[in-house]
Amino acid sequence: MKFRQHRGSLGESMRTIVEVNSLEELAKHLSQFKGIFVKTDVQPDEIEFEHYCYDPRINWDCYLVRIRDGIIAGLSDSKFDRCQKTKSGEQKN
């Protein structure tokens, strides 16, 4: 999944893109912004996705990425399900 921070312009936001492969990786990335979004580390179960719109400028189906208390951390081009499969096929929460 591609994640970008919410910024003043699309260009500024696109310069913050990172690729993450799990909720855990996204939580770790968001935790780097302590003092901006949150005061403590972000946990995977605190991340929520809400479909926002299709943006033809960047060819993304955009999802708002919210963390505790509804804070919008940014946008993504997809979402992770709560129960994901590991590479070995095992289910993890």
- Angstrom distance (rounded) from CA 85 to CA 4: 24
Alpha helices in the chain (DSSP H): 10-14, 23-31
Structural domain total, the chain: 1
| Residue 87 belongs to some domain of the structure | no
- Angstrom distance (rounded) from CA 77 to CA 62: 5
Q: Are 34 and 40 in contact (CB under 8 A)?
A: yes
| Residue 40 belongs to some domain of the structure | yes
Q: Identify the domain containing residue 50 by its residue range.
A: 2-82
pLDDT tens sequence for the chain (93 residues): 999 998 889 999 999 999 999 999 999 999 988 777 677 889 999 999 999 999 999 999 999 999 987 889 999 999 998 654 444 445 444
| Residue 43 belongs to some domain of the structure | yes
